[in-house]
Structure 1
Amino acid sequence: MSFLPSPYNHGYEIAPEYTKSVAYFSMEFAIDQALKTYSGGLGFLAGSHMRSAYDLKQNLVGIGMLWSFGYYDQVRDENREMVAAHRRKEYHFLEDHELKFQIRVNGAYVWVKALYLRPTVFGCAPMFFLTTDIEENDYLSRTITHSLYDADKLTRVSQSIVLGAGGAALLEKLGVDPEVWHLNEAHPLPAAFYEAAKHGLEETKKKFVFTTHTPEEAGNEKSSLNLLRQFEYFSGCNEQLLSEVTDLGNDEFNHSLAALRVSRVSNGVSKLHGEVARDMWKRHSGVCPITHITNAQNKRYWADKELDVAVKGGDSKRAQVRKRQMKEKLVTEVANQTGRMFDPDVLTIVWARRFAGYKRPSLITRDWNKFESLLENSTYPVQIIWAGKPYPKDFAAIDEFNQLVKMSKRFANTAVLVGYELALSKLLKCGADIWLNNPVVTREASGTSGMTAAMNGAVNLSTDDGWVCEFAKNGENSFIIPAAPEGVSDQDRDARDCEGFYKIMYDQVLPMYYNDSDAWQKVVENSMRDVVPFFDSDRMASEYYTKIYSSGL
């Protein structure tokens, strides 16, 4: 039976193996192109989890934020370089049941409204989206939910309070107390303090679980403890309770470390990340056990059905025809955005994900002679596409994006696309032959874009990091850049990884693609078969119940 009251219940009969009630908190959810409540990988993961929860008939509800201006709209200026535009969104499919309540933020009461997403709209678990952008609030309070990951630190603290404490207050208003409260990253951490203020830390620990996504301690968010006190981040928890989750003699509050101390169990998002996380946090006392559940993506949403049927049926010719049709759609989008006419018969390389330094978007351009030779090779032609959103205030990443835009003007077979959201992501994965993924090894906790690329007949060419370590059979279902020796400088590491890419391209990928189409098709089909069922989020959503939600009880 659904634990949510009417009219918000699941609308389906809960499967007997998934009856435990769960509230899943996340700052972002990528549910559908029409709902702009995400920025990148964290949201893509959460969206797939909600879709699989629906498919498996789980007793789970999602709690997120309704961003008035979304993350941002990625558009171009007069020089065709990137601009972050903010435009107000409207969502008439979200239901307003006048679910309103107040929470305290920075010494004042702020009104929060929850809008409801019915499961049948997009085929996902029931969801509530919280907003402060309502007429009951003053202007400053309304801006809390204007933009995802606002550049202002005080606004981001307020956003966490609205998601965490506001989400907890919503459940209280609904009259429900889920058996499991799942924090997807540390953003919703105030939910734990809201509960601990009422029930104590030990009782709170019994029901809270935490998924960590950041493989470097320095990358985990930290704040001034006194600032958080001022903003009422801790919902009035006493100093004795706070002393159990943070060092009161130090003004630095580590959000992830506190989440590990208020939860009964945590997980990394790949096997490698689980190992890294356990090693990273082992020197800290009071940390809960850390296991791993490898991220996955929802095949129902992402995979092209016609291509999937052809490969399952062993019809390689039909699969090749369908893949070319998918590439033609991508060619049309490239022409629409850039005026360049790509060729669906040419090997198409795509690098597309969030622009960030450690992901190294422009790695293959760092050996300019090799890069230029690759693009000018008439025997084995290639075309290359980049896409992805930097954080709107990550000026180094924005500059790298714009440098690629400038570079692409020199070569007719390169393109940089804007608007990297769910729809463009799917189009790129369907149209790519090679899905290029070259993060610095151990810096990518999971990285899921290559999973959905593989589901659509794109072959991963990757460094051996994140989920790829559990998937790759080099030369059989993917191509793996050999790891640089430990201890080399960052510059030498990047040079070796760049060299590794070109060696794979010339020794394996290009000759196979152009001279042995049967061998290439075999790699494509191996990739498609190997990526499921393990990297389908149905497995992941099921594992959360068996390994996390039911553990330690």
Structure 2
Amino acid sequence: MKLQNYHIKDKYTTSVAYFSMEFAIDQALKIYSGGLGFLAGSHMRSAYDLKQNVVGVGILWSFGYYDQERNEDRTLNPKYTRKFYYFLEELPAKISVRINNKDVVVKAYLLRPDVFGTAPMILLSTDVDENDFLSRTITHKLYDGNEKTRIAQEIVLGIGGVKALEAINQNIDVYHMNEGHSLPLVYELYSRFNDINELRKHVVFTTHTPEAAGNEVHNIHLLHEMGFFAGLDLKTIREISGYEHDDNFSLTVGALRSAKRSNAVSKIHGIVANEMWKDTDGICEIISITNSQDKKYWTDKILIRALDEHEDYQVEARKKHLKKVLFAEVANQTGKMFDPEVLTIVWARRFAEYKRPGLLKYDFYRFVKLITNEERPVQIIWAGKPFPTDFGAINIFNELIKIGHKYKNIAVLVGYELSLSRLLKQGSDVWLNTPRITREASGTSGMSASMNGSIHFSINDGWHPEFARDGRNAFTIPEVDPKLSIEEQDRLDNKNMMDILENKIIPTYYDNPKRWVEIMKNAMGEIEQDFHSGRMADEYYVEMFDYNKTQ
């Protein structure tokens, strides 16, 4: 069965299956939670544009991640609504996987390339009539909080994905694991090769985070009982995975020991990842391929045309129009009327403690002084989804909502998905990024913001040091010593951030608007070459997929 409806370019003929737990393809297809999905979605769009021989493999989540709504007091209310997608085609693939000593039926659906302009995608579901209720729930919710359900999801993705590809006669040269969730594919493939060294030639791995929550660890006996290892006996598993004595099985380490090559997602992350795993035996090389985003999807075309025509007044006028479009959504959600003439700062991404969504208000007296300054006013918007059971992050989200009740120029928006993300990136003046230093692997949201003339104002971590020229195309919060206490890091980062806001960003915006437009233009012009996902998709072929051919 031919999945691509286009002629594959000669330089991209190696056939690749790109496995990911989430893909942010389009607002209409809610099978993603955040940055990992946004990155995978941009990769699939660029694979289509470059006519690469790539097929995406993911899961058709019946209820998505969750729908972000509000309670009566306007605080966060995670809702789960069943989704239906009539643009998907059921494939003639009869698949079953063994999970917890029970056969589970998996159906495969095809997203054709011409629907959203992506590489073809196979999406897997256990939510079918042939299964009992418990089996059906495996593919209900992305990143289910139950450990056994999460393991079952990974079995479906890895083992079910390999079986689905084989059932429709896809000959795959390279299996790409986008994070460790799809690791079971290695053990399913082992029965085909019976040689881990030969198998490694066909597997690559991308690690996305230094955070413990993103590097799953499970008991090896539990994984074995659940069917994670595709029926292989435990002795064989210990031999080929390097876990000869340790029962705490890390998916990341398992992937690093199973791949011919792996990559981190920024230059800094490459250093951090190599340091993290330097004492781990038997792992493959970890290189760096910096994440990127798809310009065609994320940018406002009229704004880019104004940039290309070197008309500053058009750039400025279009930006103000985009701010009005965003502010219509602000008014719709909050009843607040924002002013397009006022400097607008946005903090929007996954709500997690290490990303510090509340850093702006750390020195609350100084924060209030900032937002009550009527001579040089600012407007602040927060948005983003916390994990639905991360009550610490949810409390921060709700605290910001309660603070916002008192001030007409603060808004906290819900429904942070692709459409709202694009509105925010096109309609903001400043895109604020505040992770603790060394803990942001890449942080790609600022790339698509910069593509739309929203100035990246960031801790010097992730992709930011590769792009930023302070005061020319971005603003940089100087790094502090990561060995300092968390309290001291937060205090210093807040002080440095507020100093730059008060002494550089706000004065430039109000006192030197020509200079501000120049910074916008520099950001839009300089972001394109190295941070457009076409560069990234090509680099994956050269450095990862075709790596054996160059040795």
Q: TM-score range by the shorter chain?
A: over 0.9
Distance 1:218 1:351 in 2: 22
* Residue among 217, 226, 230 paired with 1:222: 217
* Residue among 196, 199, 202 paired with 1:204: 199
Task: Write the letter of the residue equivalent to 2:379.
Answer: Q
Deviations 1:59-81 (A, max 9, x none): 00000000000000000000100
* Residue among 261, 269, 273 paired with 1:265: 261
Distance 1:272 1:482 in 2: 15
Identity within the alignment, %: 51
Distance 2:111 2:464 in 1: 33
Distance 2:237 2:64 in 1: 36
Distance 1:487 1:137, change over 3 A: closer
Native 8 Å contact 1:269 1:445 kept in 2? yes
Distance 1:217 1:400, change over 3 A: closer
Native 8 Å contact 1:114 1:129 kept in 2? yes
* Residue among 335, 342, 356 paired with 1:339: 335
Distance 1:340 1:443, change over 3 A: same
- Deviates further, 414-423 or 276-285: 276-285
1:68 maps to 62
Deviations 1:289-337 (A, max 9, x none): 1101000000010011000011111111111111011000111000000
1:94 maps to 88
Task: Write the letter of the residue equivalent to 1:517.
Answer: P
Verify: 1:540 aligned to 2:539, yes or no: no
Distance 1:234 1:425 in 2: 38
Q: Secondary structure at the match of 2:296?
A: helix
Task: Write the letter of the residue equivalent to 1:89.
Answer: K
Native 8 Å contact 1:196 1:203 kept in 2? no
Could you list the runs of 4 or more consecutive aligned residues of structure 1 that deviate by over 4 angstroms after TM superposition? 216-219
Distance 1:486 1:339 in 2: 41
Q: Secondary structure at the match of 2:257?
A: helix
1:509 maps to 505
Distance 1:114 1:134 in 2: 11
Task: Write the letter of the residue equivalent to 1:149.
Answer: Y
Task: Write the letter of the residue equivalent to 1:228.
Answer: L
1:41 maps to 35
Correspondence list, 1:61-210, <5 A: 61-200=55-194, 201-210=196-205
Q: Secondary structure at the match of 1:377?
A: coil
Correspondence list, 1:393-472, <5 A: 393-472=389-468
- Deviates further, 479-488 or 376-385: 479-488
Q: Secondary structure at the match of 2:421?
A: helix
Distance 1:550 1:217 in 2: 30
The offset of 1:151, in angstroms, is 0.9
Is there any run of 5+ residues in structure 1 with no aligned partner, and where?
A: none
Task: Write the letter of the residue equivalent to 1:20.
Answer: T
Aligned length, in residue pairs = 547
Verify: 1:525 aligned to 2:521, yes or no: yes
2:298 maps to 302
Q: TM-score, normalization: structure 1?
A: 0.98
Distance 2:257 2:171 in 1: 21
Q: TM-score, normalization: structure 2?
A: 0.98
Distance 1:100 1:151 in 2: 29
Task: Write the letter of the residue equivalent to 2:278.
Answer: K
Distance 1:302 1:318 in 2: 19
1:355 maps to 351
Deviations 1:147-203 (A, max 9, x none): 000111110000000000000101111222311100000000000110013322222
Native 8 Å contact 1:246 1:253 kept in 2? no
Is there any run of 5+ residues in structure 2 with no aligned partner, and where?
A: none
Task: Write the letter of the residue equivalent to 1:423.
Answer: S
Q: Secondary structure at the match of 2:345?
A: strand
The offset of 1:109, in angstroms, is 0.5
